[in-house]
Amino acid sequence: MGREVQVTIENYINGEWCKPVSEKYIVNKNPANLAEEVGNVPDSNEQDLDAAVAAASGARKAWRSMAGAERGNFLYKVASIMEQNVDIIGTMMTREMGKTLGEAKGEVLRGIAILKYYAGEGMRPVGDVIPATDPTALMYTTRVPLGVVGVISPWNFPVAIPIWKIAPALIYGNTVVWKPARETAVTASLVMKCFHEAGLPAGVLNMVIGEGKLIGQKLTEHRQVQGITFTGSNAVGKVVGQTAAARGAKYQLEMGGKNPIIIAADADLELAVEATISGGLRSTGQKCTATSRVIVVRDIYESFRELLIERVKQLKVGNGLDGDTWLGPCANQKQYETVQHYIEKGIAEGAELVIGGEPQQEASLQQGYFVAPVVFDQVTSRMTIAQEEVFGPVLALIKADSFEEAISLANDTQYGLSASIYTKNIAQALAFINETEAGLVRVNAETAGVELQAPFGGLKNSSSHSREQGQAAIEFYTAIKTVFIKP
């Protein structure tokens, strides 16, 4: 493909598509082919954000006054429209951030399922009757929306993550200002179009595209925004949390992970290797729940290592639109350079680079941010690649002398998002569940992935200790109101 800008997108404020006040745009390029310009995206400023917050604030009363079932009907409509556009949205996601087409379409389908799930939440209970000490009185609890919620979403899941934030925010009666990642803003605009076509009332959902340091920061600081939900890096997340807390706003942070998979001595090696590769290398390792540390008990270390390397050699890197491709490029230049930095760091600190990391030889792969999947051996827990989040297709093999040491190594990190173990021993599985410091633990399954009806979130520095998805989402997006009525 040549250098052709396919589309110029706009912000969505108060039910209308509008140019940024600055009239400035930047170009998003295909990370698999930098000669292809995917679209012009707004470079918005504070005035755009103020307009969006004002629109959301103005729509609050009417939206929260609707019955939950009526709000749910809008989400069902959005899901129906999105079902008709799976191919379009999935293809744009692949072109804009490099995820393989199969994964991209799967993410869109997950977004649709999330919309349908939360549409049903509009008909579920939101409180309890509580016995009062006065027998003539009625006491009960109900839940009320926060008001205006700011949604700051990342580029690695440009459909699923914003939807699992926006859908519960809306169904529980909040209005929303959404700042999608600029790197995937064209994909975000396709999602926004589905809400627009569903007839969502003006001001209920607004989208402002711009630099995170400006739009994200101003959204977090805005006094008319009662809640902030953020997914992204730890460095940015800490600033978001501190800024929101300083003015008394509610906040929710989902951040990094350094997720371990433990391979016990009795593990099925075939299954364990497949889970390690799928969990660590799919989506080019650009998942917060991706497997990063592979902790293998000494007895089966060499056997596991040989099988893992054999399978990794078979993986095809390429354009995500190619059906034979197993993993695509890094999503952008910054992430590509970050991965290269950690590869160099691993070598410098004495880890053995077993496979991957070499420059791409194919001419087509030299046009994008491609990294061949990397496996490091002889990694110790103190090395940088065993402690810091790489967010790329890099696996670090760590040898454990015993199952007990494997658990200790798994916990030896500031993060606590997800963790996995492969074992046939139920006692070891239960010990892993009880002792592992992670918000999501999986037995005989990869570290990546969580079902939409289940709570999701991390421990330690991986989150603000709140939970997303499932019915747990109501805890963030609402406040409890206790009611006492005496005749």
| Catalytic residue (one of 10, 36, 221, 254) | 254
Q: Report, in angstroms and rounded to the nearest whole number, the Rg of the chain calculated over CA atoms.
A: 23
Tokens of 128: 């309890």
Q: What is the 3-state secondary structure (H, E, C) of 259-304?
A: EEEEECCCCCHHHHHHHHHHHHHHHHHCCCCCEEEEEEEHHHHHHH
Question: Residue for token digits 């090696």?
Answer: 269
Which residues fall within 8 angstroms of residue 326, CB to CB, at 6 or more apart?
100, 281, 282, 315, 316, 317
Closest CA to 192 of 305, 42, 336, 296: 42
Q: Is 131 exposed, middle or buried (0-12, 13-18, 19+ CB in 10 A)?
A: exposed
Are 116 and 76 in contact by the 8 Å Cβ rule? The answer is yes
Are 185 and 9 in contact by the 8 Å Cβ rule? The answer is yes
Task: Give the three-class secondary structure for 64.
Answer: helix
- DSSP structure class, residue 379: -
- Polymer length of the chain: 487
Q: Is 404 a catalytic residue?
A: no
Count CA atoms closer than 13 A to 57's CA, side-chain side. 11
Question: Residue for token digits 């926006």?
Answer: 166
- DSSP structure class, residue 147: S
Strands (E), 153-301: 175-179, 205-207, 227-231, 250-254, 259-263, 291-297
**Residues annotated as part of the active site:** 254
